[in-house]
Amino acid sequence: MSYIPFPSGADVPALSFDIEDDFYSMEEENHTLSRRARFGTWAQSRVGRRVIGTASVLLVLAAWQIFASLNIVQASVSSSPWGVITAGRAYYTSSHALSDLSASGLEILYGFLVSLVVGIVLGVAIGTNKLMEAAFDPFINLLYSMPRIALAPLFVIWFGIGMESKIAVIFLNAVFPIILNTAAGLRSVDQELVGMSRLFGANRWFVVTKIMLPSSVPSIVAGIRLAIGNALLGMVVAELIASTRGVGFLIESASNNFQTDLLFVGIFTIAIAALILMSAVRLIERRLDRWRP
């Protein structure tokens, strides 16, 4: 399909210097918008986007189901939406579900909370203090640019196959985007705003907590978004390596037993957890930024 700059059917209006004439002809055009152009505007609206998004997901699921029922590959390998739903129902009514979810959930909770606190504290230190920046720079550069997930096996040796090693991997994955975004946010705070508050008697603590951190909310939230993805990645990989419980363990054991349906249950569980965490962040951001127009 070629790109159509003007609604099809409408002629490109001739250049005219008569403003009034042009104005009226544009209005008329609006009434005679072609069907395709009207669909285009609807597709950009909120409701339109939702409807189209849902429809395309359903379409893919339907295609997957049809593909599975054609039996080109074995059903146990290809899996199917219906198979996943059946396996999901069985899994979520078993005792494994609670055990896996609580293990993974607690790992994420602890790992992420530690990342948040450490990330913001270090980010503030680095963003406001040249000495700290210079001291931490080599470590941060090295650890940020390398695939940190490669350290996961090391952490299993150090911390065992229990929850501690997972928390350590999650922390190492999630903390960097928070540190870097917090530091960047603080460095770009309006210095005149800082000067204003100092003039009215503010000390360093007030400047950091009441001027600099609130100014940096968008940047810190962007870091937290990246951190959530990284934390989930860390959790799954750490559990894949060595574990006895957790969603990663579920995926691992389903894979070992060629239970493709169950494997997808694990994958969708993680995907849904990611969506929930992201919307939680959006809610918190809205609350912090409720002054914004």
Partner 1 sequence: MTVSTVEDLPVAVRRLGIKYHIKGQIEPFVAVKSVSFDVRKGELVAVVGPSGCGKSSLVGAISGLVPYAAGSIYVTRERVKSPSPHLGVVFQRALLLPWKSVLENVAISLTIARVPKREREERAMAMLKMVGLVDFASRYPHELSGGMQQRVNLARALVRDPDVLLLDEPFASLDAQTREEMQEELMKIWMLAGKSGLFITHQIDEAVYLADRVLVMSAGPASILIDEVKIPFERPRKLHLKREPEFQELVDRIWEKVRLKRDEVGDEA
What residue ranges bind partner 1 (CB under 8 A)? Answer: 190, 192-193, 195-202, 206, 211, 214, 289, 291, 293
Q: How far is the CB of 152 from partner 1 (least distance, A)?
A: 39
Rounded-to-integer distance, Cα 251 and Cα 237, Å: 10
Rounded-to-integer distance, Cα 129 and Cα 125, Å: 6
CB 154 within 8 A of CB 211: no
Q: How far is the CB of 190 from partner 1 (least distance, A)?
A: 8
**Judged by CB, which is closer to partner 1: 14, or 199?**
199
Q: How far is the CB of 167 from partner 1 (least distance, A)?
A: 33
**Judged by CB, which is closer to partner 1: 13, or 214?**
214
Rounded-to-integer distance, Cα 149 and Cα 162, Å: 17
Q: How far is the CB of 197 from partner 1 (least distance, A)?
A: 7
**Judged by CB, which is closer to partner 1: 46, or 292?**
292
**Judged by CB, which is closer to partner 1: 133, or 164?**
133
Burial 233-253 (b: 16+ CB within 10 A, else e): bbbbbbbebbbebbbbbbbbb
**Judged by CB, which is closer to partner 1: 84, or 124?**
124
The C-alpha torsion from 97 through 103 and 108 to 110, rounded to 10°, is 150
In this structure, how many other beta carbons lie within 10 angstroms of the beta carbon of residue 208? 18
**Judged by CB, which is closer to partner 1: 23, or 291?**
291
Q: What is the DSSP string of 27-54?
A: HHHHHT--HHHHHHHHHHSHHHHHHHHH
Q: State phi, psi for 200 to the nearest 5 degrees.
A: -95, 20
CB 256 within 8 A of CB 248: no
**Judged by CB, which is closer to partner 1: 96, or 198?**
198
**Judged by CB, which is closer to partner 1: 159, or 206?**
206
CB 120 within 8 A of CB 185: no
In this structure, how many other beta carbons lie within 10 angstroms of the beta carbon of residue 16? 10
Which residues contact residue 165 at a Cβ distance below 8 angstroms, ignoring those fewer than 6 apart?
A: 152, 155, 156, 158, 159, 238, 242
